[in-house]
Chain A
Amino acid sequence: MQFWIIQGLNSLSLGGLLFLLSSGFSLIFGLMRLANLTHGAFFMLGTYFGATALRAFDGLNIWVTALGAGIAVAAIGGLFERLVLTRLKTNPLGQVLVTLGMSFIISDACLMLWGGDSIPVPTPQNLQSPTRVFGFVFPTYRLVLVGCAIGAAIALYFLLERTRLGAMIRAGVDDRQMARAVGIPVSNLFTVVFCLGAGIAGAGGVLGGPILSAYPGLDADMLPLALIVVILGGIGSLLGAFIGSFIIGLIYTFGTALFPELAYIILFLPMIFVIAFRPQGLFGRVGA
């Protein structure tokens, strides 16, 4: 019983983390029709930034760090979008390839700057004491992370559904040509959304740090998870990313706990089912 509850909570926290990773990916894909393969590297960059800041300044607030790292990663993403991706507007394949190239550059730069050893990220002091859930002790930080993901999901929902910017983004997703024709600056929107997606990934990287710690190859571990989440949930759908994240979190956690060596295969089964019976994903509207 304890096993199931503890692992259930673990899978929730992994799902929360995956949502922070894949929501940005999904947003970017929905608007820009761009499979951003740099996304895992953005996440890893956030983790390294967070690890460095939190270890350098004792008692630094993790939320402030996440915000700062998010902004820093968003700035890097914005530069990349403005300087490189906009030049390849008419070449969607080229865009994917440069995001791949960029991910190699970032991951190698991280290896150069931070070395090959994994760097643990300290858990915030006020969240170190465990919480009792149904009589079982559980790390408080992981629960907070779930709350964080839900908060981010609600914030993103309001941003997309209730603000002027969100309305413009939705217009761009639905019909880019028409949005341009009615005077929406779609090209600027691209930059905004790319920065936003990169920023969420970067902030998510910091928040995931205490669980995952920063190590070379983190990007290659996270990118396939993000891909599987969005393929499962439906590319470009926020709800799909949310549901998909928790499904994958659940499957991956229990898979690793029960069949450690087969976790990767188990992970890929739901993806096959969804692709076979609903290629656009659970909540996707457009086939990619």
Chain B
Amino acid sequence: MKWIAATPLVALLLLLPFFAGDFYVNLASQILIAAIFALSLNLLVGYGGMTSLGHASYLGVGAYISALLTSRYGFGHGPAAIISITGTIAMAAFFGVIALRATGLGFLMITLALSQVLWGLAYRMSNVTNGDNGIAGLTRPMPFGISLDSAASFYRFALLVAAVAFLMMAIFVSSSFGSSLKGVRDQPRRMAALGFNPWMIRWITFIYAGFWGGVSGLLYVYYNKYIHPTSLSITSSAEALLGVIAGGSGTLGGPVVGAALVLLLKNYASAYLERWNMLLGLVFLFIVLMMPTGIVPGLARLMTRLRRGLR
């Protein structure tokens, strides 16, 4: 039943480039990238109970490594992608060891501090990262000789990656490992008493989330062909977290919806407003105060209530 309902959506996603203009196709590509990023953060926030405010580190570092390797050191896109994903995973493993010494607010503060350090580095190490000017003039890869320079072809590429990411993360959370992760989120001491290793479960999840963060970073830099320290900033982490929470953390659909909403809001707002941050802050206040469990669980609750009413 659920799968039949999803068919029109899948068809819409596949056929989008045939009827929508380039502007909307590009917008859709950006939404897909933001969705992968939000989904990876959701593994930590929603399923692991680890609220990270430094997830932009993985997007930013993944993007920066690829950008530096391809533009400055003459690497091809293939090896650059592999190195950048490996680098991101290594960084996630290292940051995980540090941040997972604490839980709750301590975890949040450490992840935030770590990502701010990276952001500061990206600004200050201008001989490597080009500082505030960012790295421009990047290219998109050509997987199997197919050029991704048109809006439609890049969209299909992003859709493929997003579909794989969505499936892989869905499998991850519904696997037995995913169940133990939810167990550690809710009852860490009981899980430890049952013989699980909560720290290891959190750490593996942290690395896995970092991996998908790095993948979204690669797409991000391919799409923009440009990278700037703001991609590592707290605003970038906060946008993703807002997407996760607005959509509904701990659900698979929620972060996708939330990320799409945040991105659309940002796009439309920037057409009329110069100041996105103010609006972002206000939306944060609104979401947390008015719908703390997010849109998707809120709607789901509404649907069940309606169904019960009909019976």
Contacts and interface: CB of A to CB of B under 8 A. Distances in A.
Question: Helix, strand, loop or mixed for chain B's interface?
Answer: helix
Given A112-B275, A268-B113, A100 B105 contact: no
Given A98-B284, A267-B117, A268-B117, A91 B292 contact: yes
Contacts of B106: 231, 235, 279, 287-288
Interface string B247-286: 0000000000000000000000000000101101111110
Interface in B93-115: 98, 101-102, 104-106, 108-110, 112-114
A225 to B, nearest CB: 9
Interface of B: 51, 53, 98, 101-102, 104-106, 108-110, 112-114, 116-117, 119-121, 124-125, 127, 233-235, 238, 241-242, 245, 275, 277-278, 280-285, 288-289, 292
Contacts of B285: 84, 98, 101-102, 105
Interface residues of A, number: 49
Nearest to A109: B278
Contacts of A264: 117, 120-121, 124
Contacts, number: 127
Q: From A29, A96, A97, A227, name the one whose CB has the most chain B CB atoms within 10 angstroms.
A: A97
A87 B13 CA distance: 40
A88 interface: yes
A94 B127 CA distance: 40
Given A264-B120, A276-B98, A227 B112 contact: yes
Contacts of A103: 281
A147 interface: no
Contacts of B275: 108, 111-112
Nearest to A223: B116
Contact of B102 (A84, A104, A267, A279): A279
B62 to A, nearest CB: 19
Contact of A288 (B53, B104, B116): B104
A265 B102 contact: no
B288 A108 contact: no
A104 B288 contact: no
A96 B105 contact: yes
A287 B277 CA distance: 33
Contacts of A37: 53, 112
A84 B289 contact: yes
A287 B109 contact: no
Contacts of B119: 220
Contacts of A104: 235, 238, 277-278, 280-281, 284
B261 to A, nearest CB: 16
A92 B105 contact: yes
B293 to A, nearest CB: 10
Contacts of A34: 105
B284 A93 contact: no
A104 B119 CA distance: 17
Contact of A107 (B277, B282, B284): B277
Contacts of B234: 100, 220
A153 interface: no
A263 interface: yes
